[in-house]
């Protein structure tokens, strides 16, 4: 035989092993196995050999061809695997985030104001009470000295709940004042409670109104409670919650459930007055509805909006921001 098939095989295997890409392997494969390769040329020469030699040489050539093909196939597979790994590595997306401090959420600003108010009143000796958001009209109105025909009912823009029965008996509470009644009915005086909660009115959302908002109610029932206790409590709350330099005043007003009634305002250090809420001495009819003898006990109540306080504290001008719940907005506080 005129060619050294073993050395062809050796050099082919060496080149294939050294190849660094699948294309390079394909090129080597062409040069060793293609039409112009030594192996093909050698095969053409087989005819000149005598039958005995021809069979032997043919077998050898086939053997070499098979081994080169096997080397090509395994090296190609190997290179494709590592090329794929390289491609994966280069296209890998780094989804880890480097942060130097843990991301901590925070309470919504209404919740913050709510909790600070609770803390302030707890510090003044009050306990926290609560009542249902879906109320009977008796707790929300009648027991608070607002009978069915009372004009104040229209003023509340009540949202009634239709649960298939007499719909006028169930509603979404329009204020936190029904918690006064529930507290009187479930506990014995003396009573010192505050009741923060969600309230509802048929209002169109704008910069200063929402159909859902928050109030905090206060109720004190004890012996010999007077308007002076009310004024002193409002003043103590004002300096405790807002700080030194803030003060309060009461202005005459009217609520069916208190008598006398007042509006209370707070004065900010810049001298401006802000209307905060309503208050007054608990009306005898309300005490009676709560099962308390007005001859023996007296008390005062107050109620004001929480949302407005949160707006004021953070200098926010549109109430709707509090309810849109855009995290980019909320994260600032």
What's the burial of 283, exposed, middle or buried (CB within 10 Å: 0-12/13-18/19+)? buried
Residue 117 is a binding residue for ligand PHE (CB under 6 A): no
Residue 256 is a binding residue for ligand PHE (CB under 6 A): no
Residue 280 is a binding residue for ligand PHE (CB under 6 A): yes
Three-point CA angle 322, 323, 326, nearest 5° = 80
Q: Report the C-alpha gap between 23 and 130 in whole angstroms.
A: 78
Residue 15 or 265: the one with the smaller Cβ distance to ligand PHE is: 265
Residue 258 is a binding residue for ligand PHE (CB under 6 A): yes
Q: Report the C-alpha gap between 138 and 178 in whole angstroms.
A: 9
Helices vs strands, H then E, count in the chain: 13, 10
Q: Are 262 and 252 in contact (CB under 8 A)?
A: yes
Residue 131 is a binding residue for ligand PHE (CB under 6 A): no
CB neighbourhood size of 271 (10 A)? 6
Extract the tokens encoding 96: 């880890």
C-alpha pair distances (Å), 178 with each of 37, 141, 300, 303: 101, 8, 14, 11
Q: Are 106 and 172 in contact (CB under 8 A)?
A: no
**In whole angstroms, how close is the CB of 280 to ligand PHE at the nearest point?**
5
CB neighbourhood size of 9 (10 A)? 19
Number of residues that bind ligand PHE (CB under 6 A): 12
Q: Which stretch binds ligand PHE (CB under 6 A): 15-23, 26-34, 203-211, 271-279?
A: 271-279
Binding track over 70-109 against ligand PHE, x by CB under 6 A = ----------------------------------------
**In whole angstroms, how close is the CB of 152 to ligand PHE at the nearest point?**
10
Q: Which stretch binds ligand PHE (CB under 6 A): 11-19, 43-51, 62-70, 298-306?
A: 298-306
Residue 104 or 228: the one with the smaller Cβ distance to ligand PHE is: 228
Q: Report the C-alpha gap between 279 and 218 in whole angstroms.
A: 9
Window 45-64: residues binding ligand PHE (CB under 6 A): none
**In whole angstroms, how close is the CB of 322 to ligand PHE at the nearest point?**
18
Contact with ligand PHE (CB under 6 A) among 278, 287, 297, 310: 278
Q: Are 181 and 173 in contact (CB under 8 A)?
A: no
Binding track over 174-193 against ligand PHE, x by CB under 6 A = -x-x----------------
Contact with ligand PHE (CB under 6 A) among 117, 120, 303, 319: 303
Q: Which residues in this chain contact ligand PHE in the complex, by CB under 6 A?
A: 175, 177, 217, 255, 258, 277-280, 301-303
């Amino acid at each position: 035989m005129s060619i050294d098939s073993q050395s062809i095989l050796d050099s082919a295997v060496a080149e294939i092993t050294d190849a660094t890409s699948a294309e390079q392997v394909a090129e080597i494969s062409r040069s060793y196995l293609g039409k112009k390769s030594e192996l093909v040329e050698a095969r053409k020469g087989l005819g000149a050999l005598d039958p005995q030699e021809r069979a032997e040489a043919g077998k050898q050539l086939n053997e070499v061809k098979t081994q080169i093909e096997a080397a090509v196939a395994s090296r190609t597979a190997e290179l494709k695997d590592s090329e794929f790994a390289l491609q994966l590595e280069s296209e890998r997306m780094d989804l880890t985030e480097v942060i130097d401090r843990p991301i901590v959420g925070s309470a919504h600003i209404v919740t913050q104001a709510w909790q600070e108010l609770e803390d302030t009143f707890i510090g003044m000796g009050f306990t926290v009470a609560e009542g249902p958001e879906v109320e009977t009209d008796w707790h929300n109105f009648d027991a608070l000295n607002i009978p069915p025909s009372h004009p104040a009912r229209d003023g509340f823009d009540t949202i009634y709940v239709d649960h298939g029965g007499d719909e006028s008996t169930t509603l979404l509470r329009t204020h936190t004042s029904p918690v006064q009644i529930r507290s009187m009915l479930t506990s014995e005086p003396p009573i010192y409670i505050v009741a923060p909660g969600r309230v509802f009115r048929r209002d169109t959302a704008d910069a200063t109104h929402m159909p859902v908002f928050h109030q905090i109610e206060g109720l004190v029932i004890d012996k010999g409670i007077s308007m002076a206790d009310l004024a002193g409590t409002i003043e103590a709350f004002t300096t405790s919650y807002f700080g030194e330099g803030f003060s309060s005043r009461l202005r005459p007003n009217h609520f069916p459930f208190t008598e006398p009634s007042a509006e209370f305002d707070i004065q900010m250090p810049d001298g401006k007055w802000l209307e905060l809420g309503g208050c007054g001495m608990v009306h005898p009819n309300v005490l009676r509805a709560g099962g308390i003898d007005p001859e023996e006990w007296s008390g005062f109540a107050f109620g004001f909006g929480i949302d407005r306080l949160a707006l004021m504290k953070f200098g926010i001008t549109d109430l709707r921001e509090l309810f849109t719940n855009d995290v980019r907005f909320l994260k600032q506080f």
